[in-house]
Structure 1
Amino acid sequence: MSNVVTRQAYIQSLPKYITLCERNYLRALKVLPEEVVGEKRKIVLANATYEVHIDDCAKYTTDISIKQTSTISDYLPELDIAVRLYHDAKVAEVVHHDFHQRIKPSYGYPNPSMHHKDEKYQLNAFLGDWLMACLESGRVPLNWDVNNGMV
């Protein structure tokens, strides 16, 4: 008798994904600068400096980019992700990662780009971990002008 092995396609758990995106939304709101296009906030986390930049604001969405501005190691690439916050649904999700094309919900495996089956979920889980690290142990340099510009 021959055994035929069939591969099942990857099916993403939508409730699990939506819960992750809702948590990312709440965390992202805490690290955002004022919601004005062009505003940015620097965050120091361990030996790296990151910049959260507001790229675009609309009635129901805000596009932000998170960029690493200092190198940790010559062997690690710098972080550069684009995140969209949907204010009506109260979710945030990664849209681009390191200038790649838009991320699909799932990929066949193996694939030429070597994406994981659940690439989109993993990038959003990474965003959640990064936001938690920022909230727990990140520092925001303050530029207080206590003299109101007078010396």
Structure 2
Amino acid sequence: MTTDVKLRRYKFDLAALQRLAAMNYAALRPLVESVRQSGSLVIKVGHQLRFALTVLEAAPYTTEVRIEQQALVQQLPGLKETQLDVRLYHDAQLAEVIRSQGVARLQASYDVPNPKMHHADEKHQVNYFLQEWIQLIRERGHLQEI
């Protein structure tokens, strides 16, 4: 007895990614402006969670920032703190995650399975994670300029 299983290939949705990038840009821009003025920004979420926001590079049409989780207590061995590098495109008003957990040059889609075990929609997922992070700091974050 055989069953016909059709594997559905992931279809990259550019319009959805651009909508997400536009929302992330609008939400990140005020934070990036604060960082430009103060040099660095720390965002506390509760007692055990803290993030640093740093401008890595500023140019007329783009700004690159790093969002990095800072451990307040000893983490489990092998556990990596969150690290995202985000490029803001001021002319297009879009924000895109360009590096996540040290992985650069995220492709729009990946074949599954693949040697590095990326999800088929890895690029969309890390940009959606950025949106969730922004929502978290809006709801529970406390800004501390350094």
Which interval holds the TM-score relative to the shorter structure? Answer: 0.7 to 0.9
Structure with greater strand share of residues: 2
Over the matched positions of the two proteins, sequence identity in percent amounts to: 31
Q: Distance in 2 between matches of 1:101 and 1:30?
A: 25
- Which position in structure 1 is the counterpart of 2:66? 65
Q: Structure 1-normalised TM-score?
A: 0.83
**1:71-90 → structure 2 map (5 Å cutoff):** 71=72, 73-74=75-76, 76-90=79-93
AA matched with 1:132 = Q
> Cα offset for 1:8?
4.4
Q: Distance in 2 between matches of 1:119 and 1:142?
A: 32
Q: Distance in 1 between matches of 2:15 and 2:104?
A: 25
Name stretches of at least 5 consecutive residues in structure 1 with no aligned partner.
144-151
**1:1-151 → structure 2 map (5 Å cutoff):** 6-32=6-32, 33-35=34-36, 39-46=39-46, 47-71=48-72, 73-74=75-76, 76-141=79-144
SS of residue in 2 equivalent to 1:132 = helix
> Cα offset for 1:110?
0.5
Moved segments of 4+, more than 6 Å: none
Q: Distance in 2 between matches of 1:115 and 1:34?
A: 32
AA matched with 2:29 = L
AA matched with 1:65 = R
Matched residue pairs, number?
141
Q: Distance in 1 between matches of 2:58 and 2:51?
A: 21
- Which position in structure 2 is the counterpart of 1:147? none
Q: Structure 2-normalised TM-score?
A: 0.86
Q: Distance in 2 between matches of 1:137 and 1:53?
A: 20
> Cα offset for 1:34?
4.0
Q: Rg: which structure is higher?
A: 1
Q: Distance in 2 between matches of 1:106 and 1:89?
A: 22
Q: Distance in 1 between matches of 2:86 and 2:112?
A: 25
> Cα offset for 1:35?
2.8
